[in-house]
Chain A
Amino acid sequence: METVTITMKNAPALYLEADNVSPDAFAGKKAAQIAELSVHEGNTTSTLGKYFDVSGDAGATAADTKVVVRGDVKKVKYLGFKMTAGELVIEGTADQYVGAWMKGGKILAKGDIGAFAATAMKGGELTVEGNAGNYLGAAYRGDWRGMSGGKILVKGNAGSDIGMYMLGGEIIVNGNADVHVMTHAEGGKTIIKGNAASKLGGQMVEGTIFVFGSIEVMMPGFKPNGEVELEVDGTKAKFAHFIGDMGERHKKKKGVVVYGNLYKKI
């Protein structure tokens, strides 16, 4: 695997839309060609090389390419946009839309990431060592298809609206999550190892939420359904089981109504 390193040298005055920073866009290109790829600051279009030093040539395909992003990218959006293979390592904190619409490959963000990360993600892995913003793995505005595959691991805390309209895949948050988890979800799984705020699983049709810590306020649409012994992400424990959202529509599978599940560790 070939490695391309891009290092911020001239920080933008406003914010930078770097939707070409991905193994897919870099694949098959020499460092000089990569520096010619377009980036956008407001309504102006210029080259990646104006803002970043580019070193190393990319592999022949996305799968053979690893991209390392260095320097201050707090004001850079769309890193890893629509990537399908290969690797992306962001060494600092990045802004919105990290790994948005990603289909494959791996992203490792060593700092925090902004809102709308992994929007409508279909596959691959996103690991965040810091905190994630709002709308992690959610649907784009007005779309009813959120994250449908892949895996997200946030080692810090996550913001609000994670997994909105989720259809599949898995989100693990080691820290706490803010309000609205898996709203409108029709599948998928979210594990919150810290505490959750409120409005978990509102309007949820199907899917599963695990909470290891406390839940500030439960949704009234989640009905107690006994206790179960489960092994979740390597932890064996007893969980209180709730089904819901009872106010929402639910499908029948093989003649049985399927509800969303909420498990809270006891």
Chain B
Amino acid sequence: MTKKITDVICPFCGTLCDDVEVVVSDDGKQLLEVYNACVIGTEKFLHSQAKDRVTRPRLRQDDGSWKEISYDDAVEYSAQMLAKAKKPMLFGWSSTNCEAQSVGNEIAELSRACCDNTAATCHGTTLIAVQDIGLPTCTLGEVKNRADRIIFWGCNPAHAHPRHMSRYSIFPRGFFTGKGQMSRKLIVVDPRVTDTAKMADVHLQVEQGRDYELLDALRVAFKGEWLPDVVAGIPAEKIREAADMMKSGRFGIIFFGMGVTQSLSKNHNIDEAIAVTKDLNEYTKFSIMPMRGHYNVTGSGEVFAWQFGFPFSVDLTRGFARYNPGDTSTIDLLVRGELDAMFTIGSDPGAHFPISAVKPIANMPSVCVDPHLTPTTGVSKLHVPVAFNGVEVGGNCYRMDNVPIDCRKVVEPPEGMLTDEQFLIKVRDRLKQLKGVA
């Protein structure tokens, strides 16, 4: 006999779909089938059942081979590394739950470390812009029920957040959007003709790296001021047409992704996009929302901000929290040679950082806490496999619109495996002993 579990939360992307159904074996030890999730989410659930999964910590030997060690030895290595380092980095946190993140912050404070999450290579620039000029935002429920003007700027949900459009932004029939897709106008701004752009009513094919100019041109167009004939490769008439379409809606939303946060101008792009939103509120109701990637990167920002006052790139080396991306952000610290130990959890910098930032990780004491084999485990000295968050352990996480949702445990982890939180608590307690504060 098998059991079907309903209302499961998908721990893949920031959309946090909460209608997933999974089928598990009667003893709750095997996950057999997944329904309603997108192909990426399905794979995330099923991957926990991989037969070749690493289930015990491994320490790299001098000849490059791995040696299996106990969790206690892994705790000792991690705590000693953090106790000795002058400037350790605790990086990642975006694919783990808020409970584990909070224990991680205790470790950061004890070891006077730098701590950062994946926003550093993702929506960190958004957070800088939000601090600069604020954020008129809403929840995805409001988008579903009210929005009739949808703008996707520098993002491609058709591939990156596959169920976003069907659950919230384009297709669903909401309270005031009874005709679903028919009641919405879609504007996509992207230099490429993506699968999302193919569905758009208006596709503004912006020149690469000229989003800031195009956003400024929209603001000028709202005010009916003079514009050059062509801005960012787009004729002025087309910009004015898009501006009118935005102004004429009852409720609009700008969703934006890595295409604007990590291309030329970075935080300024978002700063200007927020200013566009603010301007539009003089004519109608408009909101803006980042398309967050990792399922709990938003939660990591919340926990950092709640405990340290800043949402990412926090430097605690002087005993108080400082924040200045460019100085305290992980890639800059690694490339400039400012760190002497690296602790990675719930993220894969080995795959996402530039190679000049990955090489230093291989040359310093390093720990990677991750259920998978990744490029980061490949360059780290110690690999600590843990239970899959959102599959083998529950915990709190935040959706991209800052709505907290509790993930559910659906299947047992392999015998004897620790969760992120359990491992971190052991490291914290050992570190307290080493620092003489236990």
A interface residues (Cβ-Cβ under 8 A, vs B) = 13-15, 17, 40-44, 96-97, 115-116, 134-135, 140-142, 144, 179-180, 183-184, 198-199, 202-203, 217-221, 223, 245-248
By beta carbon, the residue of chain B nearest A115 is: B326
CA A144 to CA B220, docked complex, whole Å: 23
The answer to whether B325 and A247 touch across the interface, beta carbons within 8 angstroms, is no
CA A42 to CA B225, docked complex, whole Å: 51
The answer to whether B327 and A220 touch across the interface, beta carbons within 8 angstroms, is no
Pairs of residues from A and B, 9 with the lowest C-beta to C-beta distance, nearest first: A247-B219, A42-B86, A42-B87, A43-B112, A142-B131, A220-B217, A246-B225, A43-B317, A220-B231
The answer to whether A14 and B228 touch across the interface, beta carbons within 8 angstroms, is no
CA A134 to CA B279, docked complex, whole Å: 29
By beta carbon, the residue of chain A nearest B210 is: A217
B370 at the interface (CB under 8 A from A): no
Interface string of B211-236 (1 = CB under 8 A from A): 01100111110110111100100000
How many whole Å from A119's CB to the nearest CB in chain B?
9
How many whole Å from A89's CB to the nearest CB in chain B?
24
Please, which residues of chain A bring their CB within 8 A of the CB of B131? 141-142
Please, which residues of chain B bring their CB within 8 A of the CB of A40? 317-318
Query: Interface on chain A toward B: helix, strand, loop, or mixed SS?
Result: loop
Assess A217 versus B220: contact at CB under 8 Å? Given A42-B85, A180-B265.
Answer: no
CA A96 to CA B327, docked complex, whole Å: 8
Interface string of B100-116 (1 = CB under 8 A from A): 00000000000111000
Assess A116 versus B327: contact at CB under 8 Å? Given A15-B338, A43-B317, A144-B132.
Answer: yes
By beta carbon, the residue of chain B nearest A12 is: B86
By beta carbon, the residue of chain B nearest A41 is: B86
- Size of interface on B: residues with Cβ below 8 Å to A: 45
Please, which residues of chain A bring their CB within 8 A of the CB of B264? 179
By beta carbon, the residue of chain B nearest A77 is: B327
Of the A-B pairs whose beta carbons lie under 8 Å apart in the complex, a sample of 26, sorted by A's number, is A14-B87, A14-B339, A14-B340, A15-B336, A15-B338, A41-B86, A42-B87, A43-B316, A43-B319, A97-B327, A116-B326, A142-B128, A180-B265, A183-B268, A184-B132, A198-B213, A199-B212, A199-B213, A202-B212, A203-B271, A217-B213, A218-B228, A221-B217, A247-B219, A248-B219, A248-B275
The answer to whether A246 and B223 touch across the interface, beta carbons within 8 angstroms, is yes
How many whole Å from B227's CB to the nearest CB in chain A?
6
Assess A142 versus B132: contact at CB under 8 Å? Given A220-B227, A220-B231, A246-B223.
Answer: yes
B323 at the interface (CB under 8 A from A): yes
Please, which residues of chain A bring their CB within 8 A of the CB of B220? 220-221, 246-247
Assess A43 versus B318: contact at CB under 8 Å? Given A14-B337, A141-B325.
Answer: yes
Assess A202 versus B87: contact at CB under 8 Å? Given A15-B338, A141-B131, A220-B220.
Answer: no
Please, which residues of chain A bring their CB within 8 A of the CB of B223? 246-247
B272 at the interface (CB under 8 A from A): yes
Please, which residues of chain B bring their CB within 8 A of the CB of A13? 86, 340
Please, which residues of chain A bring their CB within 8 A of the CB of B325? 141
CA A180 to CA B85, docked complex, whole Å: 37
By beta carbon, the residue of chain B nearest A119 is: B324
Within 8 A of A (CB), among B74-113: 85-87, 111-113
CA A41 to CA B317, docked complex, whole Å: 9
